[in-house]
Chain A
Amino acid sequence: MNSLIWLPFLPLLGTLVPLLSAHLSRTACAFLTAALPALTLLLVLSHAGDIFQGERFHAVIPWIPAIGLDLAFRLDGLAMLFAILILGIGLLVILYARYYLSAKDSIGKFYAYLILFMFAMLGVVLSDNLIQLWFFWELTSISSFLLISFWGHKTEARKGARMALTVTGAGGLALLAGLLILGNTVGSFSLQDVLDNGDLIKASANYPIIVVLVLLGAFTKSAQFPFHFWLPNAMAAPTPVSAYLHSATMVKAGIFLMARFYPALADTNLWFLIVSLTGLITFLVGAYIALFQHDLKGLLANSTISHLGLITLLLGMGTDLAAVAAIFHIINHAIFKASLFMAAGIIDHESGSRDMRNLNGLWKYMPYTATLAMVASASMAGVPLMNGFLSKEMFFTETLHQASLGSLSWFIPVLATLGGVFAVAYSMRFIHDVFFNGEPINLPKTPHEPPRYMRVPVEILVAICLFVGIFPSLAVGDLLFAAANATLNGPAPDYSLAIWHGFNLPLVMSIIALIGGLLMYKNRAHLFKFQAQFPASDPKLVFESAIQWLTRQSQALIAWAENGSLQRYVFFVLAFAVVMTASSLLKLNTTAGQRPEIPLDALSITCAVLLCISALATVIWHRKRVVALITLSVVGLIVSLAFAKFSAPDLALTQLSVEVVTVILLILALFFLPQKTPKESSPRRIVRDLSLASLFGGIVGTISYALMTRPLDSISTFFTENSKTGGGGTNVVNVILVDFRGFDTLGEITVLGIAALGIYKLIARMRLFMPSADGNGLAWSEDRHPMLLKVISQSLLPLALLVSAYIFLRGHNMPGGGFIAGLVTSVAIIQQYIAHGVEWIKTRIKFDYQIMIGSGIGIATLSGLGSWVFGHTFLSSWFDYFYLPVIGKFELASAMIFDLGVFLTVVGATMLILANLGQLTTSERPTQQEHE
Chain B
Amino acid sequence: MLNITIIAVAICICIALILNLWRLLKGPTISDRILALDTMYINAIALILLYGIHARSSLYFEAAVLIAMLGFVSTAALCKYLLRGDIIE
Contacts and interface: CB of A to CB of B under 8 A. Distances in A.
B60 A602 contact: no
A617 B26 CA distance: 11
A921 B89 CA distance: 7
Contact of A831 (B25, B27, B62, B73): B73
A641 B65 CA distance: 14
B63 A914 contact: no
B44 interface: yes
A917 B18 contact: no
Chain B: interface size category: 35 or more
A631 B34 CA distance: 10
B8 interface: no
Secondary structure at the A interface, as helix, strand, loop or mixed, is helix
Contact of A606 (B14, B34, B51, B67): B14
Interface string B19-60: 001001101001001100100110010011001000000011
A824 B14 contact: no
A866 interface: no
Given A627-B30, A641-B44, A670 B18 contact: no
Q: Which of A606, A670, A835, A914 has the most CB of B within 10 A?
A: A606
A830 B87 CA distance: 10
A248 B3 CA distance: 106
A781 B81 CA distance: 10
Given A667-B78, A827-B70, A634 B40 contact: yes
Contact of B89 (A830, A838, A914): A838
Contacts of A838: 88-89
B52 to A, nearest CB: 9
A837 B27 CA distance: 30
Nearest to A840: B89
Interface in B58-82: 59-60, 62-63, 65-67, 69-70, 72-74, 76-78, 80-82
A626 B17 contact: no
Contacts of B51: 644-645
B20 to A, nearest CB: 9
Contact of A668 (B24, B27, B82, B87): B87
Contacts of B27: 627
Contact of B85 (A663, A780, A834, A922): A780
B89 A667 contact: no
Given A660-B73, A663-B77, A664-B77, A781 B88 contact: no
Contact of B76 (A649, A783, A834): A834
Contacts of A783: 83
A787 interface: no
A660 B74 contact: yes
A852 B80 CA distance: 28
Given A667-B78, A831-B73, A834-B77, A918 B14 contact: no
A610 B87 contact: no
Contacts of B87: 664, 667-668, 671, 834, 918
A660 B81 contact: no
A827 B89 contact: no
Given A614-B21, A617-B25, A831 B63 contact: no
Interface string A124-151: 0000000000000000000000000000
Contacts of B44: 637, 640-641
Contacts of B47: 603, 641
Chain A: interface size category: 35 or more
Contacts of B80: 789, 834
Contact of B66 (A627, A641, A803): A803
B84 A656 contact: no
B72 to A, nearest CB: 7
A667 B78 CA distance: 7
Given A637-B41, A830-B73, A833-B88, A649 B59 contact: yes
B73 A786 contact: no
Contacts of B67: 640, 656
A653 interface: yes
Interface in A633-658: 633-634, 637, 640-641, 644-645, 649, 652-653, 656-657
A534 B78 CA distance: 83
A761 interface: no
Given A637-B44, A645-B51, A789 B86 contact: no
A771 to B, nearest CB: 7
A737 B54 CA distance: 29
A354 B77 CA distance: 86
A915 B88 contact: yes
Contacts of A606: 14, 17-18
Given A629-B78, A831-B76, 11 more contacts: A614-B24, A626-B81, A630-B30, A633-B37, A640-B44, A641-B44, A653-B63, A780-B83, A780-B85, A807-B62, A827-B73
Interface of B: 10-11, 14, 17-18, 21, 24-25, 27, 30, 33-34, 37, 40-41, 44, 47-48, 51, 59-60, 62-63, 65-67, 69-70, 72-74, 76-78, 80-89
Task: List the 3 closest A-B pairs by CB distance, nearest first.
Answer: A918-B88, A606-B14, A660-B70
15 contacts: A602-B10, A603-B10, A606-B14, A610-B18, A634-B21, A657-B70, A774-B85, A780-B84, A783-B83, A784-B84, A807-B62, A834-B76, A837-B89, A917-B88, A922-B89
